[in-house]
Amino acid sequence: MTRKEKRELKKSIRVADEVVNIIKQYLPCLIPELRKLTDKRKQGYVEYHIQVIMFVQILGYVVGSKSMKEMVSTFNEEEFVENVKNILKEEVEDIPHYDTINDVLKAVSVDELRKVIKKIVYEFIRKKMFDKYRVYGKYFQIIVDGTGICSFKERHCKHCLKKEHKDKETGEITKVTYYHYVLEAKLCVGNLVISIDTEFVENEDEKVKKQDCELKAFKRMAKRIKEEFPKLPIIISGDALYACKPVIDICRNNNWEVILRFKNDRIPTLGEEIEKMEEGKLLKEKARKITNNKKEEKEQIYKYMNEVHVGDATKSDEGYEVNVVKFYETDAKGKTTEFIWITTINVTESKLEEMVNTGRKRWKIENEGFNEQKHGIFNIEHLYCTDWNAMKIHYLLTQIAHMIRQLLEHGIRVLREAKFTKWEISDMISKELTRFVMACDNLKAQKQLRFDFD
């Protein structure tokens, strides 16, 4: 597509209309559920209903506003107010000031907003939107990983985690960092990574003897996911941190499968056992050559073994068994990459390729997930408010906005073919929302998205 054609397309396409279509068709529960959120304000003094505040903030993330002040400045147009009024189907006289928004977010229930996200995901699953991306035609892959969302030189609140930096030679503490951390569980379907649950890693107070951590947070998260999706067939994927007995036990007790990245130093006895089996040529093996899009040849070698014992072989009650897959890929330049996974799924030669592809998707939570939300349009490390509860709500609202943007960018064919950048799309949405009054009732609510990707 030429530059002139892209300019003409920008004039004709209505991306904001597509955003509203996506909300109406694929997130129909969003606005009704926002209305149900508990509003702790004195209702006689309320100027903006809670759904208005929450929805405006979501739109702020959708258009990539870098700060609350920028969002309010951008949206301060009569056309935007009219559009919000038409979308929400209620009287809206003005948009709320960012201080008003933050005051409300300080009191919004994190648990209630988590449930809104789960209802959205439940609708995706119920409508079978992503069934063709099930692993082995059965399982939904959920990738878990944690990331920091902000850090401070001084204690921000009693829930802060603390990291001490020590001098390597003297062992003396040279610096202390306080930070907030979050554990995400994302549904991985094709190139989309959609938040299915969020658990904040936080201390109860500053005097705790042992800090909260990712694995403790996973235990809390897994309990919620099982309660909300009791019959959903799930494969849990994660990095080497999760390749341990407590995580595997939780997943087995929930009737979930796992495909976890493994490194030898995570469980040294298992690492040694795998090396011995490989040296003794006890691992089953499959090799093949493939050609990529650049017509470069790669050699792939799969090695695997089922029922590998972990722990003391003389005390079977203290150990457990996992299945192991080892994968080597050598490119045209002779560079070899090695991966190891442990899994609860019985490994056969026919399952190897899909298992390796599934295991390698773990990086998507970092690239399409955290990296996009930190360095793309969402800016989750920005401190929109200093109140910890409001910070959590901002983060959760970002997850909803990210869902909408992914459905838009991957589901609307013309946007994919034109190869608009994310910032170009943000600019188009922002201009349309603030310069034109949309005929929301006349939009095609039944438009089908087409996800043409692997």
The reported pLDDT for the residue numbered 450 is: 64
Average pLDDT over residues 116-138: 95
Q: Domain spanning 139-310+320-369 has what CATH number?
A: 3.90.350.10
pTM: 0.93
What does the alpha-carbon distance between residue 270 and residue 161 come to, in Å, rounded to a whole number? Answer: 32
Which residues make Cβ contacts (< 8 Å) with residue 344, sequence separation at least 6? 248, 251, 252, 257, 258, 322, 323
Q: Which amino acid is at 349?
A: E
What confidence category does residue 344 fall into, taking pLDDT thresholds of 50, 70 and 90?
very high
Q: Which of 83, 96, 98, 58 is nearest to 432 (CA)?
A: 83
Place of tokens 């459905």: 407
- Give DSSP secondary structure letters for 330-358: E-TTS-EEEEEEEESSPP-GGGHHHHHHH
The per-residue pLDDT of the chain, averaged, comes to: 91
Helix 388-411 / helix 98-105 crossing angle, nearest 10 deg: 110
Residues 128-156 have pLDDT tens digits of 999 999 999 999 999 999 999 999 999 99
Q: Which of 437, 393, 428 is nearest to 409 (CA)?
A: 428
Four-CA torsion 28, 32, 33, 38, nearest 10 degrees:
170
What does the alpha-carbon distance between residue 338 and residue 360 come to, in Å, rounded to a whole number? Answer: 11
The answer to whether the beta carbons of residues 306 and 347 sit under 8 Å apart is yes
Residue 427 has pLDDT above 90, yes or no: yes
Spans of all domains in the chain:
3-111+386-442, 139-310+320-369
What confidence category does residue 454 fall into, taking pLDDT thresholds of 50, 70 and 90?
very low
Q: Which amino acid is at 148?
A: G
